[in-house]
Amino acid sequence: MTISKRKNTVLLAAVIFLFLALFDGWQYGFFTMLRFVVFAATAYVAWLAYKGQKEKWVWVFGFIAVLFNPLIPIYLNRETWTTIDLIVGLFLLLSIHFFKLKEEITLGTSSSNT
């Protein structure tokens, strides 16, 4: 799978969770999972942006990762989180199209070809 497809897949998973969160009736466990999914997706994409030398994108995705951090959560009221979920969901959906990475980014340690 190419880097762009991986990026798009993880962002789309986060978008789905964020848009599902807009509906009422979810138990607390769903929102904990939402934090993990959005945190993991945006931290991964921030790392990809760092590897691709896209500094502004690193800051944006890094901020979102901190906002949704499940280990040290930020507590806000439900109405505020609904607004944040909608804005971040739309941003991530748009970033699937507008945030481009070059496919030649090396993701891991370099391997020797011997």
34-65 pLDDT tens trace? 999 999 999 999 999 999 888 999 999 999 99
Domain count, the chain: 1
Q: How far, CA to CA in Å, does 26 sit from each of 21, 33, 97, 109?
A: 7, 11, 29, 41
Low-confidence ranges of the chain (pLDDT < 50): 110-114
Is the residue at 108 inside a domain? no
Its domain, for residue 93, covers 3-98
Residues in the chain: 114
Is 105 contained in some domain? no
Q: Is residue 31 part of a domain?
A: yes
